[in-house]
Amino acid sequence: MDMSRLSDLRTAEVAPVRHLIDGASCGASDGAEMDVISPLDGRVLTTMAKGTRDDATRAVAAARAAFEDRRWAGRAPAERKKVLLKWADLIEANALDLAVLGVRDNGTEIGMALKAEPLSAAATIRYYAEAIDKIAGEVAPTADGILGLVHREPAGVVAAIVPWNFPLMIGAWKLGPALAAGCSVVLKPAETASLTLVRIAELALDAGLPPGVLNVVCGEGAVVGDALAHSMDVDVLVFTGSGPTGRRLLEASARSNMKRVYLELGGKSPNVVFADAPDLREAAKVSAAGIFRNAGQVCVAGSRVLVERSIDEEFTTLLAEVAQGMKVGDPLDPATNAGAVNSLRQLQQNLAFVEEARGQGRTVLGGRRIHEDTGGYYMEPTIVTGVDPSDRIAQEEVFGPVLAVMPFDTEEEAVALANGTDFGLAAAVWTSDLSRAHRMVRRIRAGVVHVNTYGGTDLTVPLGGVKQSGNGHDKSLHAFDKYLDLKTAWIKLEP
């Protein structure tokens, strides 16, 4: 990493952020702006257009016009691929600038941000660019005299609402397959992490993406997101975020045009450690990273450790050693292991969960705000033991560096605890027993189950949830299912 360049980017002035609609940068229709607060120091980093319903409507109209005149959807898949590959190259060429800008905006430690944000986004866009000209229709097995064809066609206008924790990575999971499929998109970034998404949308234009195919409207979810959800001209809505917001989006779909809605709504993911785990110290190290990196602000974070009672004390001690050895602080310091909490509101929510656990008599290691003198939003890695499965900290997503630890005695009890929440996004199992590993993978209700590791899946496999963790899948070729419609052609042939 170029340290001198990193130092320059740390203090670089950030221009006010505006919407990108129909290929043009523009402010809010009423001129309103909102401050962008950096979680690194609590100061105003820049300002951002505060989108209105009219702005959202204009963006949808631009996307609709672009889709209907087929300026993008009508191009051969190989032509779309060329543009997307050039876009990926531009993102990669600007990776350090994008990573630092994102860190200043949302607080992720730079080591993780560089890999998980611009470099991940570039890889995702390349993956879907390379895939699109290899996805074909079908010829149906029909009787003589009939030709049955199944076409795969772009679904239309997509509204994508993206969260603040990994805006480029998660944004690319939506944009890559949607644009490769030939859809037009209106992107709504999170209020507290919009800067990098606006920038890569500008790079898409530089790569040759036609105006109107990708539009970005900044602002509040209650205004811009709600307008997109109620739009009669949006065909598909994709969202990553909270359960309450997901419910409102489903209701909006029912009240408008019954657009397809795909939701990834987070989790309360169990990390199950059996006494026969291959290496308890390694399991503790990986498990700690699985909840404390990015200050716990990861949808698949392993926020519950379920540990076999015979090793409960030993494993909890190992977890504590790892947590206490982590460097939490300035996310632009490459030596930092965990950066800032995204916002003061999120920090206060995290601390409230911990205080409630303390009030219930649970044992808490860590759990304090730190580095308050910087003005930034930093929190100690926190381990809560003595947790009852019914405690709120064991049932609800904190979305912070807070780990709930619970013992179990039998495999049956471990399964019951693992499945004992409303969520089902991710899970992990640590064991040397291959048969047990297969049984747990089958019995734990989650979209992904790791064995003897946590995290680290790539684009070749899907990510999606069950139960109240959502529906539909990001990543892998299965992501195309959200953005491609099936159309049957039934043709009577002349005898």
CATH of 3-265+470-488, picked from 3.40.605.10, 1.10.150.170, 3.90.1280.10, 3.50.50.60, is 3.40.605.10
pLDDT tens, residue order, the chain (495 aa):
676 788 899 999 999 999 999 999 999 999 999 999 999 999 999 999 999 999 999 999 999 999 999 999 999 999 999 999 999 999 999 999 999 999 999 999 999 999 999 999 999 999 999 999 999 999 999 999 999 999 999 999 999 999 999 999 999 999 999 999 999 999 999 999 999 999 999 999 999 999 999 999 999 999 999 999 999 999 999 999 999 999 999 999 999 999 999 999 989 999 999 999 999 999 999 999 999 999 999 999 999 999 999 999 999 999 999 999 999 999 999 999 999 999 999 999 999 999 999 999 999 999 999 999 999 999 999 999 999 999 999 999 999 999 999 999 999 999 999 999 999 999 999 999 999 999 999 999 999 999 999 988 899 999 999 999 999 999 999 999 999 999 999 999 998
Which residues fall within 8 angstroms of residue 260, CB to CB, at 6 or more apart?
Answer: 155, 235, 236, 237, 253, 482
Q: Determine the Cα–Cα distance for residues 67 and 81; give it in Å rounded to an integer.
A: 17
Identity of the residue numbered 302:
G
Nearest in space to 440 (alpha carbons), one of 432, 428, 452: 428
Tokens 């105006």 correspond to 211
Which residues fall within 8 angstroms of residue 220, CB to CB, at 6 or more apart?
Answer: 34, 50, 51, 191
Catalytic residue positions? 264
Q: Where in the chain are the domains?
A: 3-265+470-488, 270-458
Query: What H or E segment, with its residue span, contains residue 417?
Result: helix 411-418
- Quick check: pTM over 0.75? yes
CA dist 364 → 351, 356, 360, 373, 430 (Å): 12, 11, 11, 23, 24
Provide the 8-state DSSP code for 310. G
Q: How far apart are the first and last CA of the chain?
A: 69
Nearest in space to 408 (alpha carbons), one of 486, 268, 295, 304: 304
pLDDT of the residue at 250: 98
Which residues fall within 8 angstroms of residue 336, CB to CB, at 6 or more apart?
Answer: 109, 110, 111, 327, 328, 329, 330
Q: In 338-401, where do the E strands start and end?
A: 363-365, 369-370, 378-379, 382-385
Q: Determine the Cα–Cα distance for residues 482 and 262; give it in Å rounded to an integer.
A: 8
pLDDT of the residue at 429: 98
Q: Determine the Cα–Cα distance for residues 78 and 86; give it in Å rounded to an integer.
A: 13
> CA 344 from chain center: how many Å?
20
- In CATH, what class is 270-458? alpha beta
pLDDT of the residue at 479: 98
pLDDT of the residue at 462: 97
pLDDT of the residue at 7: 87
Identity of the residue numbered 366:
G
Question: Is 335 exposed, middle or buried, given 0-12, 13-18 or 19+ CB atoms closer than 10 A?
Answer: exposed
